[in-house]
Amino acid sequence: MTTEEYRKKLYEEIEENLWQYRGDKWRAYYKGKCSEMLSFMEEQNKKAGIFENSCNKGKHQHFWEVLVGNTLLEKGYHPQRDKRDGAPDYFFEKDGIKIHVEAKAPTGGTIDELKPKGIPMVNAETIDDEHPFLCGRLDGKNCILRFTSTMSAAVNQIETSFLHHGTVTSHDKMVIAINGSDVIGNMEIDVNSFGSCTSYGFNMYCSLFGLDGNEYFLLNENRCVLSEGLIMKNAEKISNRFFCPENSTPIDGVIYSNVNMKNYFSEDLPFLFFPNPNKEDISKYFPFCKVIRAPKRE
C-alpha cells in the first residue's frame, strides 16, 4: 500500500466516525489517526534506509522531514541518506546530477527561541493551536522576515557545514524544502491563484525575490505591481534578495508547502517549487511541484 492509499484509507475512517465523537474525544481520535499516518511513513522510510529520528528538533520538523523523504520515495526518486556528519537530509541522482534536499520547518519565531548567531530575531506571539483565531498571528512583514531568517540560516549551514565537510560539492545541486505552516498561520488561504498577500506561498516568494509584501498601482497602465525594497525591522534593514542577480546564494531551488499533521488528511495543499533564476533550472526534476518563477522586473 502506498502512502497516498493509506492516507485515503484513514481519511475514510475519519469521515465514517465524524459524528461519533465530540470535543476532547474527537481531538484524541483525530490525533491518533495523525500518529498512525506518521508511523506508516516512518516505517516506509525505515524500509528504504532513509529514516532518521528527528523528534528532538520538534514534532513539526520531524513530520516535515519524514514527509519530504517519503514523498521523494513515493515519487520514485530513490532518495538516500549520507551518514556522515554535516550532510543534508537527503540526496538523489538524476541525469548524472546529484541533488541534495534539506528540510526546514521554521516556527513562528518566539522571543525566547534560540536563533543562529547573526540571524535577525523575529518577535511573534506564541500561537495557540487549539484556538488559532483568538491569539496573535504573524503579519505579512514578520512572515517574510521569518522566512528570510530561515533562508539566511540555510545559506550559513551550506557554507559552513555541508561544503566545509565535503558532503556537498560545488558541482551538486542544493534544494531547501521549507514548510511554512507554523509561520503563516491562517494567512495564506488562496491555493488556486498566485500574486496577492493571501496567496499560497506568497510570503516565501517575497523573501526570495526581494519584495516587501506590498503593491502599488500604475495608473497609466491600470495594473498593480509588487513592491521591491528592504524590509525595516526596528532601525535595521533586512535584505531578502536571495534569488536576485546580485546574490550568489548556493541554493538552486526551494520547495514550499503548508501541509502539517492536522491538515494532511483533508486538504489538498500543493508543493511549490521556486527555481533560482541565476542558476541552471532544475524544476524539471520536481514535476510533483507547481513551479513559481521570478517576478518580472520593471
Task: Give residue limits of the domains in the chain.
Answer: 79-291
| Ranges of the chain with pLDDT below 50 | 111-137
| Whole-number pLDDT of residue 110 | 52
For 196-206, what is each residue's pLDDT tens digit?
666 788 888 88
| Whole-number pLDDT of residue 226 | 65
- Which pTM value belongs to this model? 0.84
In a 13 Å sphere around the CA of 160, the CA atoms on its Cβ side amount to 8
Residues 6 or more apart from 150 whose CB is under 8 A from it? 104, 106, 178
| Whole-number pLDDT of residue 113 | 41
| Whole-number pLDDT of residue 267 | 67
Task: Specify the DSSP class assigned to residue 246.
Answer: T
- Residue 286 φ then ψ, to 5°: -130, 60
| Whole-number pLDDT of residue 214 | 65
| Whole-number pLDDT of residue 256 | 95
